[in-house]
Amino acid sequence: MKRELPILLTVLCGLGITMAFFSSSAGDPDDLPLGWTKAVNSELLAWALVFFSVAFILGISNLVRISLKTISSRGEDWPYKAVMLIVLFGYLGIGLMEIHQQRYGFFGSTEDAVVGIAGQGERAMRDWVYFKVFVPLQATMFSLLAFFIASAAFRAFRARSLESTLLLTAGAVIMLGQVPGGDELTFGYAGRALAFTMTYINGAGQKAIIIGATLGVLATGLRIVLGIERSYLSE
């Protein structure tokens, strides 16, 4: 029963959401024979949101447990774990404090003008931490991509075989077609080669991958919704 019940629920929810997707949405749902499926669909999606929110607690508890274990055993790079926990709970504290001061109006807040602990605005402190600390760090990580593209391209574009030579040639043509002056230097041929390669060769290849992948998604989805695929469930 521990295995059959989840499968039954999956099948029922899957079929319900599929019916809602294909049922008519022309007019008032109350007047339509399958209008109730839309209501069921919205209700299920609301439940899913609640599940996702509650699951955050599980994620944070996992993070805290593993970090505390590393800190207590003075494992490798334990100070970073300590910093992570301080930031995690510090940011949570700032958020709670700001929400609290909005409700009860200390730190100079009035009903007309909400003042955050770091200045004017409902979420001044949270925004400051987010935009001045988190966003630059995120951009730093993202900017690493430029260097990694260069190092990966250096390895991939070595002409060792016929395939890699073709890749190198295609890469050179694409680059020439996109860099300033490349098109002029080649009397317009690089631009035309770029357009042809991207539209027909690259476009056709991408569409082939998309068609194959979509059929794979469809097959997996059907197997799950119909209860044929069960390996994602535990024993």
Q: Residue numbers of the site for another protein (CB under 8 A)?
A: 21-27, 31-34, 48, 51-52, 55-60, 62-63, 65-66, 69, 76-77, 134, 137-138, 141-142, 144-145, 148-149, 151-153, 155-156, 206, 208-213, 215-224, 226, 228-229, 231-235
Q: With respect to another protein, which residue has the nearer C-beta, 1 or 139?
A: 139
Q: With respect to another protein, which residue has the nearer C-beta, 185 or 226?
A: 226
3-state SS class at 159: coil
Q: With respect to another protein, which residue has the nearer C-beta, 100 or 192?
A: 192
Least CB distance to another protein at residue 166 (A): 12
User: Which residues have CB under 8 Å from 21's CB, separation 6+?
Assistant: 41
Least CB distance to another protein at residue 142 (A): 6
What separation in angstroms does the CA of 119 have from each of 73, 174, 181, 182? 41, 50, 50, 51
Least CB distance to another protein at residue 132 (A): 16
Q: With respect to another protein, which residue has the nearer C-beta, 31 or 112?
A: 31
User: Which residues have CB under 8 Å from 233's CB, separation 6+?
Assistant: 3, 6, 7
Least CB distance to another protein at residue 19 (A): 9
Quote the CA–CA distance of 217 and 212 in Å, as a whole number. 9
DSSP states of 188-201: THHHHHHHHIIIII
Quote the CA–CA distance of 118 and 136 in Å, as a whole number. 19
